[in-house]
Amino acid sequence: MFTGIVEELGEIVATEQLADAARLTIRGKLVTSDAGHGDSIAVNGVCLTVVEVVDGDSFTVDVMQETLNRSSIGGLGAGSRVNLERAAALNSRLGGHLVQGHVDGTGTVLSRTPSENWEVVRISLPDSIARYVVQKGSITVDGISLTVSGLGIADEPAADGNRDWFEVSLIPTTLSLTNLGFAAAGTTVNLEVDVIAKYVERLQQRG
């Protein structure tokens, strides 16, 4: 379990393609400082398991084909910057919201609107998860806990086929410490909706 408060902006330093998976080596001095085999680290919002610590500042993870298909991880390569967060400790503050590290879908950055003290980023929203996203609710974008500041439906589908969109307003801290600070229009991002909404829907379906 995570909180969506990114601890470090890391970098993928190597990728190895396996038969039905990939092994990534990721540099992140802070999150690696106390990491060991079997620990969980969220990489762009995807919960991955540490296989090995390398040179004291990097770690390796194995990513199965299912994860590569359902997230943006498969499109990353050496040099890609990634948001990193260690699993939450039970005695720590919940600075964001409850984040599982299980990606529900991917969206595409549609536009960026800068302001003097913040920036509004519009992201496409897959129809399969649009019903879980509400104004002022929580959503995780590439592992970042954010508040939905706007919702809408475009007249025409975006390049990824989605018509629904949502907006998040990013403060300078988020812009400088996460990869959303430089994610250009067209960038694919991982989305995780609030798990509580999915539980409520399931309970209603079961009567």
pLDDT, one tens digit per residue, over 97-141 is 889 999 999 999 999 999 888 999 999 999 999 999 999 999 999
Q: Which residues contact 151 (CB under 8 A, 6 or more apart)?
A: 133, 134, 135, 164, 165, 166, 167
DSSP 181: G
d(CA 192, CA 84) in angstroms, rounded, equals: 15
Q: What is the pLDDT of residue 172?
A: 95
**With the C-alpha atoms ordered 71, 82, 198, 185, is the resulting torsion angle positive or negative?**
negative
| Contact between 3 and 15 (Cβ < 8 Å) | no
Q: Dump pLDDT digits (tens) for 81-102.
A: 999 999 998 888 788 888 999 9
SS3 content of the chain, % helix, strand, coil (to 5): 20, 45, 40
Residue 194 has pLDDT above 80, yes or no: yes
- In whole angstroms, give the CA distance from residue 73 to residue 87: 19
Could you tell me the CA-to-CA distances from 32 to 11, 74, 128, 142, 186 in Å, in that order? 12, 22, 35, 19, 31
Task: Please give the pLDDT value at position 22.
Answer: 95
First to last CA, the chain: 28
Average pLDDT across the chain, whole number: 94
Which are the contacts of 75, defined by CB distance < 8 A and separation ≥ 6?
Answer: 188
Domains defined for the chain, CATH in brackets: 8-86 (2.40.30.20), 105-206 (2.40.30.20)
**pLDDT value for 117:** 86
Task: Tell me the C-alpha distance between 202 and 182, whole Å.
Answer: 37
Please enumerate in sequence order all residues whose Cβ is within 8 A of that of 15, keeping only pairs 6 or more positions apart, or say none: 22, 23, 24, 25, 76, 77, 78
